[in-house]
Amino acid sequence: MAFALYNTLGRKVEVFQPITTGKVGFYGCGPTVYNYAHLGNLRAYVTHDLLTRTLRCLGYEVTHVMNITDVGHLSGDDDSGDDKMVKSAAERGKTVLEVADFYTRAFFHDTGRLGIIRPAVVCKATDHIDDMIALIRRIEANGYTYFAGGNLYFDISKFPSYGELAGLRLDESRIQARTGADEYKRNPRDFVLWFTRSKFENRALVWDSPWGRGYPGWHIECSAMSIKYLGDRFDIHAGGIDHIPIHHTNEIAQSEAATGKRPWVRYWVHNEFLLTDKDKMSKSAGTFLTLQALTDRGYDPLDYRYFLLGGHYRSQLQFSWEALEGARNARKSLRDRLRALSAKAGGKAAGDPGGSAAEYTGAFLKAMEDDLSSPRALAELWGLLKDNAADPADALAAVLDMDRVLGLNLEADIHERNGAEDPALVREIERLIAERGAAKKARDFAKADAVRAALKERGIILEDGPAGTVWRREW
């Protein structure tokens, strides 16, 4: 069976065909770092991780890119309200950069504990203002913008396929225009590419631009950074379903307006919401739980990951403490069975699992190939663990193979794998460090500095010491 994925663009399950054979360019919208990620946000990142892991298991080389939003995201995705970062900083008596740094670290602490593999490229919006300005200039040169009331807007009337992703009917959206909406917008769905008319006095984060001193709109950062790292066209873009009608719709319009190439992204993947009672878990409604709140009650973050895997990413999932307790118990008995199996196999997994174990692995992969059907995949794992007829060494190897996709760290008893890095990334960094070393030797310091700066943009810091150059994550 071929890998099939539900594509929001077109609203059906489609066989996945990458632009370049064997390779996948994947961009997942990252967090706005003004507060802790809540369990609903983390559902989105576990979904991205599951997609990346599945693609890798199927033999694809995946370049996973994620942004960190530290500027420009207003409380309303439609340019209304306050800047989330600025507001949070003011409330806490900190600078925006201090707040961003603190919550970025907290975010990676959480994702690491959830077994989420770090994307190869993690890029901060404030490090890419020049890329955003360059992209906006292309959009402007192609005739899709107007300047009014101090802001540069995207004019959706110039982009005939606007709203295709969300199936928007534009005449309806006009009628539904909210009172109090931005008076300078020609159409209520036009959106800001560059603000100069700040809603805050003495705003700290402002940059010079061809349109005046100001700051970028939120949507442009994802277009600019994904195009920078993945090219004018790439394979998969993901986020929560709330991003379909505004954020992703606007990303498509401005990216295609800039490059003139369609489709910008081939497959759009959207996860459904995590609910508390009947509502979406959300930061603004104040109904959110953090991962820390679960660990404070004695749960392991992987209990939450297991709970998420038990639901399909396109179904709403109701959070409750009872359901989390169920996940904890299931994960415990999973590990008990695995330990028993490991004992039976003398702690040695087969090199290449065959026999009936291989059939379970096949069915497991089939489930994942079928639009990431993790509940069915988990059922195959359980089927194997309960099958006494399977050869223990084969079964042990098969379970560990399945865990490359599930990310439940089942191998922990054998050796610690949590917080793993993408091996292709490690090779690339090592290659760049060698390149920089050679440049320094040849006294080409401009090139050496350029390598360091390019890695810094991706959140990777080089440190020179007596033992040579080592690298670490900025967050």
Q: Are 249 and 218 in contact (CB under 8 A)?
A: no
**Residue from 5, 9, 24, 29 binding ligand AMP (CB under 6 A):** 29
Query: Which of positions 142-201 make contact with ligand AMP (CB under 6 A)?
Result: none
Q: Which helix (H) or strand (E) holds 48?
A: helix 39-57
**Residue from 239, 301, 392, 459 binding ligand AMP (CB under 6 A):** 239
246 near Zn ion, judged by CB under 5 A: no
| 249-278 footprint of ligand AMP as x/- string (CB under 6 A) | ----------------------x-xx----
CB atoms within 10 A of CB 73: 23
- To 5 degrees, how large is the angle CA 118–CA 228–CA 156? 110
| Distance of closest approach, residue 357 Cβ to ligand AMP, in angstroms | 34
Q: Give φ, ψ of 389 to 5 degrees.
A: -80, -15
**Residue from 29, 308, 338, 378 binding Zn ion (CB under 5 A):** 29
**Residue from 243, 328, 331, 458 binding ligand AMP (CB under 6 A):** 243
Q: How far is CA 413 from CA 28, 74, 181, 345, in A?
A: 31, 45, 57, 14
- Within 8 A by CB and 6+ apart from 102, the residues are 33, 94
Distance CA 53, CA 3 (A): 13
What token pair was written down for 260?
């003139």
Residue 257 vs 274, nearer CB to ligand AMP: 274
| 277-316 footprint of ligand AMP as x/- string (CB under 6 A) | ---xxx----------------------------------
**Residue from 62, 193, 205, 222 binding Zn ion (CB under 5 A):** 222
Distance CA 403, CA 413 (A): 13
Q: Are 105 and 98 in contact (CB under 8 A)?
A: no
Q: Which does 222 bind (CB under 5 to 8 A by kind): ligand AMP, Zn ion, none?
A: Zn ion
Q: Are 475 and 123 in contact (CB under 8 A)?
A: no
Candidate ranges 2-10, 115-123, 220-228, 407-415; the one touching Zn ion (CB under 5 A): 220-228
CB atoms within 10 A of CB 15: 10
| Distance of closest approach, residue 356 Cβ to ligand AMP, in angstroms | 37
| Distance of closest approach, residue 377 Cβ to Zn ion, in angstroms | 28
Q: Give the interface with ligand AMP as residue ranges (CB under 6 A).
A: 29, 31-32, 40-41, 43-44, 239-240, 242-243, 271, 273-274, 280-282
